[in-house]
Amino acid sequence: MRSGLALSRWIIIVSLRVSDLSTQNEPVLQATGLVKQFAGRRVVDGVDLQCRAGQVLGLLGANGAGKTTTLRLCYGFLQPDAGVIRVTGIDRSADPEAVARRVGVCTQDDTLDTDFTVRGNLEQMCRYFRLRTPAVKERITALLERFGLDRYANAKPDILSGGYRRRLMMARALVHEPQLLFLDEPTTGLDPQARLEVWELVDTLRRDGLGIVLTTHYMDEAERLSDELLILREGRVIAAGPSRAVLGDLVGEHMLVLDARDPATPAVCAWVRQMGLPEPARVLSTLHLAVDGPGLARFSARFGDLRFEVRPPTLDDLFLKLAEKP
């Protein structure tokens, strides 16, 4: 009965906080003009971004694009050389402690303390944020139940599977009831079932009204979870917006998939160059060609006898494009 009451109180607390957030016009996170240099090289170069309550913002880019550095600037692990970061309207440089209380962070690296139990890891985070109210114990119990960790409450984290360790890290990041959550590669190294479970948790947190910023190398994960995308290349934003709009801008309206072994392939490649289209991407024994509506009509008229597939572009196509040299 007590655990049921605790969960009810948790839901009430979350609902009240979300109601408060929904009345705010400003984003829970707004960063403008972020710059960070290492050894004279700008790894983040004038990045602007924002995330609102109940929204998942996905940061995407090839290796070295500046995703993790941008994330670390926003949650305070690194200090920007230039730019302003505001969380719920508070300038982080002016009041870093107030911002820290509003932010939860779940890093890619496992930072659980194996000297403490599962419950003890949450209690340690409460001490870090000086949470000593009578409601703390109930909040921890509610978190354990919500993340399916209650049966492991008195066990050490080192007995947990990768998926359950990730759950514990997310629960720990939420113990102080932040309004903004950063997730850096949240499902790296997890098996497919554990990945799906983490996705469901992220969906639930979004529905609760939490603002979430994530980085991932899994294109299906970004497409499944993100409401908005921010695409980085060499430290700069090259596109931002809903995934369909970003894909249309950077990849194309349609993707044609052809058998690269077809005798007509040289003629197709010559036609692509003649039309001034981007070179097709070769994936194993297939060619992937991005075209708009008129381009599809022209291709069909020219190669009507050729067997090919037409599909919408995906984030995998975008990743292949980002991996190309500028």
Does 172 have pLDDT greater than 80? Answer: yes
Does 6 have pLDDT greater than 70? Answer: no
Enumerate the β-bridge partners of residue 57.
213, 228
* Cβ–Cβ under 8 Å, residues 210 and 179: yes
Tell me if residue 5 falls in helix, strand or coil.
helix
Tell me if residue 300 falls in helix, strand or coil.
helix
* Cβ–Cβ under 8 Å, residues 227 and 57: yes
153 or 137, higher pLDDT: 153
| CATH number for the domain running over 2-247 | 3.40.50.300
Does 204 have pLDDT greater than 90? Answer: yes
Q: Which two tokens stand for residue 71?
A: 């994330």
Burial of residue 154, with CB atoms counted within 10 A of its CB: 0-12 exposed, 13-18 middle, 19 or more buried: exposed
| CATH topology assigned to domain 252-323 | Alpha-Beta Plaits (3.30.70)
pLDDT tens digits along 259-307: 999 999 999 999 999 998 888 888 889 999 988 889 999 999 999 889 9
User: What is the pLDDT, as a whole number, of residue 69?
Assistant: 95
User: What is the pLDDT, as a whole number, of residue 326?
Assistant: 56
Cα 195 from Cα 102, distance rounded (Å): 26
User: What is the pLDDT, as a whole number, of residue 325?
Assistant: 57
Does 122 have pLDDT greater than 60? Answer: yes
pLDDT tens digits along 15-63: 434 444 444 457 999 999 999 999 999 999 999 999 999 999 999 988 8
